[in-house]
A and B are shown apart, each in its own frame.
Chain A
Amino acid sequence: MSATFVGMPPFPVAAREKLADSQLRRNLAHATGTIRARRAHLVAEVDASVDGGWEALRLAGAAVKETALLSLDRQLVTLEEALTRAGATVHWARDAEEANGIVTSVVKAHGADEVVKVKSMVTQEIGLNEALAAEGIAAWETDLAELIVQLGEDLPSHILVPAIHRNRAEIREIFLRTMGDAGRPAPADLTDTPAVLAAAAREHLREKFLRAKVGVSGANFAVAETGTLVVVESEGNGRMCLTLPEVLISVVGIEKVVATWDDLDPLLRLLPRSSTGERMNPYTSMWTGVTPGDGPQEVHVILLDNGRTRALADEVGRQALRCIRCSACLNVCPVYERTGGHAYGSVYPGPIGAILNPLLRGVGHDPQIDSLPYASSLCGACFEACPVLIDIPSVLVDQRAKVVDAHRGGLPKPEAVALKAAAAGLAGARRLAFGERFTRLGLWFARRVGASAWTSARDLPPAPPESFRQWWSRTDGGRR
Chain B
Amino acid sequence: MRVALMVTCVNDALFPRTGQAVVTLLRRLGVDVEFPAAQTCCAQPMVNTGYLDEAVAVVRTFVSAFAGYDAVVTPSASCAASARHQHALVARRSGDAGLRAAVDAVSPRVRELSEFLVDVLGVTDVGAYYPHTVTYHPTCHSLRMLGVGDRPRQLLSRVRGLTLLDLPDADQCCGFGGTFAVKNADTSVAMGADKARGVRNTGAEVLVAADNSCLVHIGGVLSRQRAGVRTVHLAEILAATE
Contacts and interface: CB of A to CB of B under 8 A. Distances in A.
Contact of B144 (A15, A375, A380, A427): A380
A377 B140 contact: yes
B182 A434 contact: no
Interface string B167-183: 00001110111111111
**Contact residues of A: prevailing secondary structure:** helix
Contacts of B133: none
Contacts of A403: 50
A480 to B, nearest CB: 13
A33 to B, nearest CB: 10
How extensive is the interface on chain A, given as a class?
35 or more
How extensive is the interface on chain B, given as a class?
35 or more
A210 B20 CA distance: 76
Contact of A378 (B55, B178, B221): B178
B207 to A, nearest CB: 14
Interface string A438-480: 1100100000011001101111110110111111110001100
Given A378-B48, A468-B16, A459 B224 contact: yes
B195 to A, nearest CB: 9
A279 B20 CA distance: 52
**Contact residues of B: prevailing secondary structure:** helix
A416 B54 CA distance: 10
Interface string B184-197: 11111111111000
B51 A423 contact: yes
Interface in B97-119: none
B46 A427 contact: no
A375 B61 CA distance: 30
A157 to B, nearest CB: 15
Contacts, number: 212
Nearest to A439: B13
A335 B174 CA distance: 10
Contacts of B224: 457-459
A435 B13 contact: yes
Interface of A: 11-12, 15-16, 19, 334-335, 338-339, 373-381, 383-384, 397, 400-405, 415-416, 419-420, 422-429, 431-432, 434-435, 438-439, 442, 449-450, 453-454, 456-461, 463-464, 466-473, 477-478
24 contacts: A15-B184, A19-B190, A335-B184, A338-B187, A377-B191, A380-B140, A380-B144, A383-B144, A402-B50, A405-B50, A415-B183, A425-B40, A426-B40, A426-B57, A427-B57, A429-B40, A456-B185, A457-B224, A458-B220, A459-B223, A461-B14, A464-B14, A464-B15, A468-B12
